[in-house]
Amino acid sequence: MAPAGTLRIIDCVPEVHSDPILEILNEAIRNSTALYEYATRTRESMARWFDTKQHGKFPVLVAVDPSDTLVGFASYGTFRERPAYKYSVEHSVYVHVEHRARGVGSLLMQALIARATVQQYHVMVGGIDGSNRASIAFHEKLGFVHSGTVREAGFKFGRWLDLALYQLILPTPEQPSEA
C-alpha cells in the first residue's frame, strides 16, 4: 500500500479506470451505507454514469499509486435540477477498502474542491449516512459544516437511515448570474 504522498491525482480515463471504480462502488454497496443502493452496479450503468459526467462537464478524479493502480476516486454532479441550483454540486469520494484512513480521501477532496472553484461553483454538498462518523469527521476536517439531516430517508440492512447533509461554501463564482 502506497503512502498518500506517493499518489498522483489525475483525471479519470474511463477506458482504463471504469472497472476499478466499479469495484470500489460495488464493495461499498454490498458492505456499507455509503450508498443507499441495494443492487450492485453494472458496466452498462457505469457507461451511463460517465456519459452524464462528461455531458455536465463534471470531473472524475482518480488517485493512482506509483504502479498506476487506482486506489480511490472523487466526483461531483448536479445537486438539483432547477436552474437556480446551478452553482451547487453534490460530491462523492470513495477509497478502496485496503487504502482507507491513509490520506487518499483528503488528497482527492482537496483536488475536487480546487476543481469546483475553478469551475465557479459556490456550494459543495455531501450526503452522508448519519451513522458514518468517519465520513462526517473527514468532511468537518475539510471545513464542511452540517446543514441538516433528513430523518429516516433511506432503508437498508433492515434499518432506517438518516441522511446528514454537509456543505462547503466556496468563494466563487466571481460574477453570479441568473442567465
Q: What is the CATH number of the domain that holds 156?
A: 3.40.630.30
Q: How far is CA 127 from the centre of its chain?
A: 9
- C-alpha dihedral sign at 80, 82, 85, 89: positive
With respect to residue 28, please indicate whether it lies within any of the assigned structural domains: yes
Work out the average pLDDT over 69-87. 97
pLDDT classification of 66: cutoffs 50, 70, 90:
very high
With respect to residue 141, please indicate whether it lies within any of the assigned structural domains: yes
Average pLDDT, the chain: 95
Domains in the chain, number: 1
Specify the pLDDT at position 101.
85
What is the percent of the chain with per-residue pLDDT over 70, rounded to a whole number? 98
**Polymer length in residues for the chain:** 179
- Please give the residue range of the domain that contains residue 68: 4-169
With respect to residue 102, please indicate whether it lies within any of the assigned structural domains: yes
172 touches 117 (CB < 8 A):
yes
Specify the pLDDT at position 2.
58
Work out the average pLDDT over 40-50. 96
With respect to residue 57, please indicate whether it lies within any of the assigned structural domains: yes
Q: Residue 18: CB partners within 8 Å, gap ≥ 6?
A: 43, 46, 47, 50
With respect to residue 31, please indicate whether it lies within any of the assigned structural domains: yes
Q: Where are the beta strands (DSSP E) in the chain?
A: 8-11, 60-64, 70-78, 88-95, 123-129, 145-156, 159-169
Specify the pLDDT at position 3.
57
pLDDT classification of 5: cutoffs 50, 70, 90:
confident
**Per-residue pLDDT tens over the stretch 112-157:** 999 999 999 999 999 999 999 999 999 999 999 999 999 999 999 9
With respect to residue 174, please indicate whether it lies within any of the assigned structural domains: no
Q: Please determine, for residue 42, whether its predicted confidence score (pLDDT) is greater than 90.
A: yes
With respect to residue 97, please indicate whether it lies within any of the assigned structural domains: yes
- Report the relative pairing of strands 88-95 and 123-129 from DSSP bridges: parallel
